Chains A and B, each alone.
Chain A
Amino acid sequence: MTSTATSPAELSNEEIFRYSRHLILPEVGLEGQKKLKQARVLLVGVGGLGSPAALYLAAAGVGTLGLVDFDVVDATNLQRQIIHGTRTIGKRKLDSARDRIEDLNPNVKVEAHETPLTSRNALEIIRTYDIVVDGTDNFQTRYLVNDACVILGKPNVYGSIYRFEGQASVFATGDAPCYRCLFREPPPPGLVPSCAEGGVLGVLPGIVGTIQTTEALKLILGIGESLAGRLLLIDALRMRFRTLNLRKDPTCPACGTHEIKELIDYEEFCGVRQAAADDAAALSAVPEISPVQLAARIARGDDFDLIDVREPHEWDIARIPGARLIPLATLVNQLPTLDSARDIIVHCKMGGRSAKAVQQLQASGFRKVWNLSGGITRWSNDVDPSTPKY
């Protein structure tokens, strides 16, 4: 007899033995463990926050875990996304996570949703779950998850991270405030860097993701004092935890006035589409040179200046021979040190910051300026594979 064949309302002997440390906790006990087994939790994103959440929810014996993700495991994920491994690089995150969960606890049923969560599918997907754990990495999906949870009346266990700091709360449960009560509108695109741009201490999503998991388990078990109505701020660098009171905003369009009766266009709401179009327009307006063309100019012994506008800690990781470091923020002060009579080629990691630098130089009267398309990353791909990528 396999343990997975047991009725959802009962625990097999194997399960009783597996969960013994829970069962001897009076606050959990047999009844609590059965509640966990019958629970259905949806994880939106199986990345930094979703990895520890999925592992601990599975270990705890939550009967059904829904996973929403459409990404593939990349080596740069493994510094923090501990559900994945070196062996699963290149695999779909859903398959990688399912393998690990099945190994950790074969009693858990995994429901994989290989799709981005969108206004078209969010209500349908979320509807069948009891609790949502928000482990997304962008504002548009956070507002989408929030509004869908408010509309459906599902608790939204929130966590968010940046560099060394995190936030956690439980939204949309009972009379609790929602994400929009805390932040009515998202910041304009580009103002708050993503973890890919700004970096994140690998263990931080471990701290925040396990706090989200703790809240999800407490909600299922109906024990303790939830973070609903409170915002937990986590500062890993100073190792300070602080709780602030969250109030329900009576004018909140989601949970206050209930103006939001159906899901909206969240990319539009967050200005993402316009920003992407603006970026593309800005990039296309800038004269470019490819890494292969740059290598040819270096080989010919052409006379030009190569300017690297990245940060000093990036310069320490990798650089293109002959480049001079002028971080973008300091470019304006360094203009007098540049010769507008000479050809100037500007580069960064991927080509975005250097495009801005080229525009700044053009605005200051420089005419012979080019952006290295794809930055040092493409230089590594196309010219010199010994240059580390990061």
Chain B
Amino acid sequence: MFSLARQLTSKSIPELQVAFFVFSHRGRMAVTLFLPTVLARLADSGTLRSEGNTVGEVVANISGRYPELAPRLRDAQGDPYAFVTFYLNDEDIRFTGSFQSPVKDGDELTIVPAIAGG
């Protein structure tokens, strides 16, 4: 598909150039991640910037950058755990398509792991 897009844009048709721009910038929605302290020590800080088109892509991006954090966010198959809940803005992603939930620029992803202290 990339080569097709390049061929089309090489014809300098403005609409196609715009289309290619949009296509090539897919997966670049800027999302802010909020990690609790229990996980923040596995990354640089509790607030991270990431990008992607879906929650899964955003999490994959972060997982690639922080290998120690990765297994705490998703299982070996790349799926979410039952004891770590992801909130996209104020909503639990399990009700909006799980890791396939689309993200927008400026979205906030809050990671809520189960804790049991009392």
Binary per-residue interface labels of chain A (347-387) against chain B in the complex, 1 for a CB within 8 Å, 0 otherwise: 00000000000000000000000000000000000000000
Count contacts between A and B, CB distance < 8 Å. Answer: 96
Kindly state the separation between the CA atoms of A244 and B85 in the bound complex, as whole angstroms: 11
Check B116 against A142 for contact (C-beta < 8 Å): yes
Q: Which of B36, B82, B92, B118 contacts A246 (CB 8 A)?
A: B92
Binary per-residue interface labels of chain A (305-332) against chain B in the complex, 1 for a CB within 8 Å, 0 otherwise: 0000000000000000000000000000
Binary per-residue interface labels of chain B (79-118) against chain A in the complex, 1 for a CB within 8 Å, 0 otherwise: 0011111010011101100000000000000101111111
Kindly state the separation between the CA atoms of A231 and B95 in the bound complex, as whole angstroms: 15
- Total interface residues on A, using CB and 8 Å? 46
Kindly state the separation between the CA atoms of A195 and B118 in the bound complex, as whole angstroms: 8
Binary per-residue interface labels of chain A (217-254) against chain B in the complex, 1 for a CB within 8 Å, 0 otherwise: 00000000000000101010110001111110100000
The answer to whether A245 and B37 touch (CB under 8 A), given A137-B116, A186-B114, is: no
Which residue of chain B has the shortest Cβ distance to A242 in the bound complex?
A: B110
Please, which residues of chain A bring their CB within 8 A of the CB of B76? none
- Total interface residues on B, using CB and 8 Å? 24
Residues of B within 8 A of A (CB): 36-38, 46, 72, 81-85, 87, 90-92, 94-95, 110, 112-118
A-B contact pairs, 28 of them (CB 8 A): A49-B118, A50-B118, A137-B116, A138-B116, A139-B116, A160-B117, A160-B118, A162-B37, A162-B38, A162-B115, A162-B116, A163-B38, A167-B112, A182-B85, A183-B114, A185-B81, A185-B82, A186-B114, A187-B114, A192-B116, A194-B117, A231-B112, A233-B110, A243-B90, A244-B87, A244-B110, A244-B112, A246-B92
Interface contacts beyond A160-B116, A184-B83, A237-B37: sample of 20 additional A-B pairs, CB < 8 Å, sorted by A: A135-B118, A136-B116, A160-B117, A160-B118, A162-B37, A162-B115, A163-B38, A167-B112, A183-B82, A183-B83, A185-B82, A187-B84, A187-B113, A192-B38, A198-B38, A205-B118, A235-B36, A235-B37, A245-B91, A249-B94
